[in-house]
Structure 1
Amino acid sequence: MRNHNSDSRSQHDCVQVTAPSRLHFGLMSYGGPGRQFGGAGVMIDQPSTQLTVRAARTFSASGPGTQRAIHFAKTWSKNHSIDLDCHLEIVQLPPEHVGLGTGTQLGLSVAAALNALYGIVPARPRELAASVGRGKRSAVGTHGFFLGGLIVERGKQAEELLSPLDCQLSLPEDWRVVLVRPTHCRGLSGIAEQQAFSELPVISPAVTETLTDELRQNLLPAAAQGAFTAFSQSLFRYGQLAGSCFATQQGGSYNGPRLTQLVHQILEMGVEGVGQSSWGPTLFALLPTLAEAQAFCDKLRRLPDLDGIDLLISHINRGGHLLSASDSVSATGQAPANL
């Protein structure tokens, strides 16, 4: 590994990155011939991943998710043959393994910050993801890190590093997403997720075709036109069918009886654009304005069995992550974890 000292670093000694979270509406293909995974999702501003990397004599890290961030930094360092001399501070990290794509956003944020600190030409999505070992299945979060908005990716061939982007659209600024998240459970990840995929039945070509048609004929045209009701109805249909492909692992279109009950309760309240993000447990509900999102949350809080449910209203992200560089940043006083 080569030593990349301060003389060869970029002109900045501090880089800050803020990244959105990702909601995934469901995969389109798995186990059959042709492209694998594919799917659609949207990037949201809150909760966000925020981190700072600044020049230091040795490498250290602090903040929530430190060990995972260190792993990403080590992977980046190995792939670029660069010895790290910086401090990585995770300022804010959304909950992990709850359907928000936090691991990918953290990994890409670490990679983007290190690229900027060490003067490496900004990478394309597939290169940035590969540098920290992300993007092996879904690419919604990777493309969304760069672009924000509504993301549709077509699925990947075996030889491809990353599933290609099929379409990106910005959604109306007034629309809001309400996250409905049971706080007592987590979705699948790591070895458990790999095991679940190994046991999944093949998604039939007919189902893949139906999901693709739903996106192309209904969801995307409604998004382009800002047609809230049509978009909401299509979003529900897509998520329900995509989720049914995972019924052997989660018991239905949604991950367990509690999430299924919540979806039905939300539908009964007149909200049509409801679904589960990835393996859950985060559910999302689409509302046309902030005022209606607030009213929906007030009504939801009055349900008798809502203990242990976290609610959050978020904008739909536009433009992906934010990166800024400067000459210095003050230390936080947190004790670092050394590499």
Structure 2
Amino acid sequence: MRVTPQNRQDGDPSRALRAVRVIAPGRLHIGFLDLNGSLGRRFGSLGLTLERPVTRVLMENAAALAASGPDAARAEKALKCAAAEFGVENVRITVEAALPAHSGLGSGTQLALAVGVGACALSGKAIDARDVAHALSRGARSSIGLGAFQGGGLLLDGGKPVSGPRRQPPPLLSRIPIPEAWRILLIFDGGRVGLSGGDEIQAMEELPPFPEALADHLCRLTLMAALPSAAEGDAIGFGRAVGEIQRRLGDHFARFQGGRFTSPDVAEALRIIEADGVPGVGQSSWGPTGFAVYGDAAAADAAAEDLRRRFSDRPNLVFDVVRGNNHGATIDLAPAPALGATV
């Protein structure tokens, strides 16, 4: 997480902090690794932080609490929770950009963390992002969004205890820098949304039993294939492991998302990519956003252009090629006039 003081002179009251801008990255949730829970912990997640899209929030001191911009209602709710938990002062929020909601990119967690951490910073309170996540009820099953916010990278968390009171978000076990040469081809379907809220909770409760042997297999794929391949910059080895994880999980969740993938159009695009020899394809969380992992920019760009031509008759689909993010959120601290001029 980058904290950048801009145009600020410590000890000079005229340069007191008046505004905070937080830029929080989207992330891919590649999958849960153990929905069986027989070892006493459940879930366990693998995820990857993205360069874009992002949530960007400007917060300024104000006479009364207010929020505007895309997803303003959720931003205001997060601010009210932060005010109750941490005693932050009145803040005016401008959501300058928001991750698409219910698309599998972690929009709710990134907005909540951006607002909570930013409001605490604006009020002069040094509150850890992990404590903000717990207070704002984020990270109930996974810490991938929190880990993406705190430091980016390729992330693995250790899941939650199957019994006992609700604790802090799951512990982060591994953070591996995403190789600079890698590119992620993202496939957005603007005509669909993934499960969320009560529908998501109900689906998780009604999933069929998760075989212990499948949990063993997914954990082994992660520890002995995906993570070491990423550490060595091997996109193909990483992709083979991720593709297998996605196939197994997609079939397990198929009843609730209409098939292995939520969007038939995204599924068709992923089949084309896989047929071209790229094994690391999948869907983030409940979708509908799909992804493919490439070892170099030229191949990813060429694939995106080919897909744009093939699907030119489907305006609901958007293709973008992005880098990984290895620093997490960016928090700019500055007097309001200077920060307000920043793009």
TM-score, normalised by the number of residues in structure 2: 0.89
Find the aligned partners of 1:134 and 1:220 in 2 and give their Cα distance: 25
2:318 aligned partner: 310
Q: 1:87 aligns with which of 92, 101, 117?
A: 92
Find the aligned partners of 1:257 and 1:299 in 2 and give their Cα distance: 18
Find the aligned partners of 2:54 and 2:332 in 1 and give their Cα distance: 16
Superposed displacement of residue 331, structure 1: 9.8
On the 8 A contact 2:269/2:307 being kept in 1, the answer is no
On the 8 A contact 2:129/2:146 being kept in 1, the answer is no
Find the aligned partners of 1:293 and 1:252 in 2 and give their Cα distance: 26
Q: 1:240 aligns with which of 225, 229, 247?
A: 247
On the 8 A contact 2:192/2:263 being kept in 1, the answer is no
On the 8 A contact 1:31/1:201 being kept in 2, the answer is no
Superposed displacement of residue 188, structure 1: 0.5
2:25 aligned partner: 20
Find the aligned partners of 2:125 and 2:281 in 1 and give their Cα distance: 41
Spell out, residue by residue over 1:189-246, the C-alpha distance to the aligned partner (whole angstroms, 9 max, x if none): 1111111112112322211111100000100110111112111111111221122221
On the 8 A contact 1:277/1:284 being kept in 2, the answer is yes
- Counterpart residue type for residue 75 of structure 2: A
1:152 aligned partner: 156
Cα separation, partners in 2 of 1:258 and 1:311, compared to 1, 3 Å: closer
Find the aligned partners of 1:301 and 1:79 in 2 and give their Cα distance: 47
SS at match of 1:111: helix
2:295 aligned partner: 288
Superposed displacement of residue 265, structure 1: 1.7
1:255 aligned partner: 262
Superposed displacement of residue 30, structure 1: 2.5
Find the aligned partners of 1:149 and 1:168 in 2 and give their Cα distance: 6
Q: 1:49 aligns with which of 52, 55, 66?
A: 55
1:58 aligned partner: 64
Q: 2:121 aligns with which of 116, 124, 127?
A: 116
Spell out, residue by residue over 1:272-296, the C-alpha distance to the aligned partner (whole angstroms, 9 max, x if none): 2111100111000112222222111
The CA RMSD over aligned residues, in Å, is: 1.9
On the 8 A contact 1:14/1:52 being kept in 2, the answer is yes
Superposed displacement of residue 304, structure 1: 5.1
SS at match of 2:246: helix
Q: Map of 1:72-221 to 2, 5 A cutoff? A: 72-82=78-88, 84-125=89-130, 127-157=131-161, 158=163, 159=165, 160-221=167-228
On the 8 A contact 1:32/1:202 being kept in 2, the answer is no
1:298 aligned partner: 305
Find the aligned partners of 2:288 and 2:116 in 1 and give their Cα distance: 28
Find the aligned partners of 1:212 and 1:313 in 2 and give their Cα distance: 28
Cα separation, partners in 2 of 1:190 and 1:329, compared to 1, 3 Å: farther
Q: 2:280 aligns with which of 270, 273, 281?
A: 273
TM-score, normalised by the number of residues in structure 1: 0.90
Spell out, residue by residue over 1:162-198, the C-alpha distance to the aligned partner (whole angstroms, 9 max, x if none): 1111111002111111111121100001111111112
SS at match of 2:139: coil
Find the aligned partners of 1:124 and 1:257 in 2 and give their Cα distance: 37
Spell out, residue by residue over 1:72-115, the C-alpha distance to the aligned partner (whole angstroms, 9 max, x if none): 11111111244x32211101112110111111000000011011
Superposed displacement of residue 52, structure 1: 0.8
Structure 2: tracts of 5 or more residues without a match: 1-14
On the 8 A contact 1:240/1:253 being kept in 2, the answer is yes
SS at match of 1:36: strand
2:336 aligned partner: 328
On the 8 A contact 1:65/1:93 being kept in 2, the answer is yes
Structure 1: tracts of 5 or more residues without a match: 1-9, 333-339
SS at match of 1:202: coil
Find the aligned partners of 1:289 and 1:264 in 2 and give their Cα distance: 20
- Counterpart residue type for residue 96 of structure 2: V
Could you tell me the percent identity over the aligned residues?
A: 33
Superposed displacement of residue 31, structure 1: 5.5
Cα separation, partners in 2 of 1:222 and 1:288, compared to 1, 3 Å: same
SS at match of 2:226: helix
Superposed displacement of residue 324, structure 1: 1.2
SS at match of 2:181: coil
